[in-house]
Chains A and B, each alone.
Chain A
Amino acid sequence: MRFVDEFRDADKAHALAAKIAALCEPGRQYKLMEVCGGHTHTIYKHGLEDYLPESITLVHGPGCPVCVIPMGRVDDAIHLASRPDVIMTSFGDMMRVPGSNGSFFDAKANGTDIRMVYSPLDSLKIARQNPDRQVVFMAIGFETTAPSTAVTMLRAATEGLRNFSVFCNHVTIIPAIKAILDSPDLRLDGFIGPGHVSTVIGCRPYEFIARDYGKPVVVAGFEPLDILQSIYMLMLQLSQGRSQVENQYSRVVPWDGNTVALKAIGETMELRPYFEWRGLGFISHSALKVRSAYESMDAELLFSVPGVRVADPKACQCGEVLKGVLKPWECKVFGTACTPETPIGTCMVSPEGACAAYYNYGRMHRTRVAEAARLGAS
């Protein structure tokens, strides 16, 4: 309850915190996973864990698309981009992700033609302007960004653009959640479901979690009160012995998702048999590839991609952080060898990565807690 003053709607936050505390059974420990990196960011920024009773632990999940890209895919992308006939386009978030021989930024500094774009549609303009070069879009992200890649491919097909292709690294959230549920390392009591991904996939895909695993899921918005409200909804279900999928973010997320977006994904992409996730290893049917009907836009078929598997650096414990087994500060290199300026692991690269979020905000809170304790003691 220490940081309520820096928070809008502090009274509501207080009231929710009290209601959450009242639902805790004495002696029981609760572990709730927030799947989405955006939620992790809010939790650390606003010190939400300080509002919760000690018996509730928030566990940070794998929902940061930059964080789950394995090193080998970064190396493959740089290999592709280094061809003289290729211009690679990428979201800015991807530029600092380390491969085994450096990041996109490092490759760019060495003369490789990698260009940052805001939208995959910007890649089409670059393709039109450079008809003698192949423009390869580095497609990353969960179901939030997959529709944009899909529509861009459909647009390229309609225009008859022949020099645009996609290096597809889109991943799907449900198999990752299932992998975590099946992992022996971690026992969770419930899930704070991702907000923006659910805008596309809706709430139904989470039903197996409630039905088959008996764990509640609440799809949540991104503001501090949204997250506290969602925790309250999860705790209410747990106290009543229920496990259902509920939608706290219904003002943005329709129960059935965005069917136009799902159709565009289905038309242009299909599930891969398996895909490697950083830290989580190979997960069946967990990623998308370009559908064979659009193979002329599949960079993996157009160019030779080495496809070498690269082990994460030994010191890096992103895998444990992504699975929620370790808290960021429990990693051996957190804040020392691995910082946002010189990241070793992906969780430190993206602002939505648990390590970067904790590095930016959590340490500040811990310092202030220590300060408050010191003042209290004197």
Chain B
Amino acid sequence: MCLGIPGEVVELHPEQPDLAKVNVSGVRRMINIGLLADDPPTPGEWVLIHVGFALSKIDEGEAAAAMAFLEGIGQAYEDEIAALRESLIE
């Protein structure tokens, strides 16, 4: 829950401007990007995701570093990805 997971924005929702599909370690899921309304991310940009919400934009280097950190955490990260896999935000 507390982990910020980096995800790459793949596509924006065609009808709901506050939703976007992201790729997190190969898992593609819809997340909410409404909290970045002041500077919305575009496909190809990276965001830090907390419980289904993008909280900040990050660059690719930061995303890679964050991912390396998370993979080192082990079980907690695997649990988070498993939970993300089950998520059905619409």
Contacts and interface: CB of A to CB of B under 8 A. Distances in A.
Interface of A: 8, 37-38, 41-42, 45, 64-66, 91-94, 116-122, 125, 140-141, 144-145, 147-148, 151, 196, 199-200, 222-223, 251-254, 258-261, 264, 350-352
Nearest to B52: A119
A98 B20 CA distance: 36
A64 B48 CA distance: 19
B65 A118 contact: no
A260 B1 contact: no
Contacts of A64: 2
Nearest to B77: A351
Interface string B25-40: 0000001101111100
Interface in B56-87: 56, 58-59, 62, 65-66, 68-69, 72-73, 75-76, 79-80, 83-84, 86-87
B62 A251 contact: yes
Contacts of B86: 116, 118, 122
Contacts of B2: 37-38, 64-65, 93, 141, 144-145, 196, 350, 352
A137 to B, nearest CB: 11
A199 B51 contact: no
- Dominant secondary structure of chain B at its interface with chain A: mixed
Contacts of B52: 118-122, 148
Contacts of B75: 351
B1 A141 contact: yes
A351 B78 CA distance: 12
Contacts of A251: 58-59, 62
Interface residues of B, number: 38
A66 B73 CA distance: 18
B34 A260 contact: yes
Given A116-B83, A196-B4, A144 B55 contact: yes
Chain B CB count within 10 A is highest, among A116, A118, A253, for A118
Contact of B89 (A91, A119, A199): A119
Given A118-B51, A352-B2, A259 B84 contact: no
A121 B4 CA distance: 17
Contact of A258 (B35, B72, B79, B89): B35
Nearest to A45: B72
B55 A222 contact: no
A259 B59 CA distance: 20
A91 B76 contact: no
A270 B51 CA distance: 21
Given A251-B58, A251-B59, A252-B58, A120 B51 contact: yes
A119 B55 contact: no
